[in-house]
Structure 1
Amino acid sequence: MRSFNAVHVSEPGLVVVEVAAGDEETALVAVAELGERWATSGPSEVWREPGEPGVRVRTYAQVRPPVG
């Protein structure tokens, strides 16, 4: 798993979501679906982990509802 910057989870409600899928299209659809529900950064570049099946993609999200 790739590392991420601590600022991405520095407050309550901030999360890093890494999606593993069998193919790039499925991974990107999954991240798009998350974006329909939460404020996200959108998908990262898609990558492959050597020796592991499929592809991975990451998004950063705020899952806490806005105040007010």
Structure 2
Amino acid sequence: MEPIQQAHLAEPGLLVIDVAGADDATVMAFQDAIAQMWAMATAERTTRDPGQPGVRIRMYSGLRQVIEETSSPESAAR
């Protein structure tokens, strides 16, 4: 695989996440896990480099936009 390229953002707290994995299912599962914690722009598909193994995905996140956990029935009863 080609090296992951740096990306520079204009504002602190913004994050670009480049993920390389063996297959689509692996990188999509990683994206889903991260998306549950942070507000982020998710990707619809992966990319492949011709002649290279594996797939890539790029996600964008604002670290200041943390997703609030939903309250559980136990905490709502208190």
Q: CA RMSD in A?
A: 2.3
Identity among equivalent pairs (%): 33
1:9-62 C-alpha deviation (Å, 9 max, x unpaired): 221110111110100011111011111111100124311113432000111001
- What are the ranges of 5 or more consecutive residues in structure 2 without an aligned counterpart? 67-78
Look up the equivalent residue of 1:63 and give its one-letter code: L
In the alignment of these two chains, the number of paired residues is 63
TM value normalised by structure 2? 0.66
Equivalence map 1:1-68=2 (5 Å): 1=4, 9-65=9-65
In structure 2, how many angstroms separate the alpha carbons of the residues matched to 1:45 and 1:3? 21
Greater strand proportion = 2
Task: Look at both structures and tell me which one has the larger radius of gyration over its CA atoms.
Answer: 2
Consecutive unaligned residues of structure 1, counting only runs of 5 or more, are: none
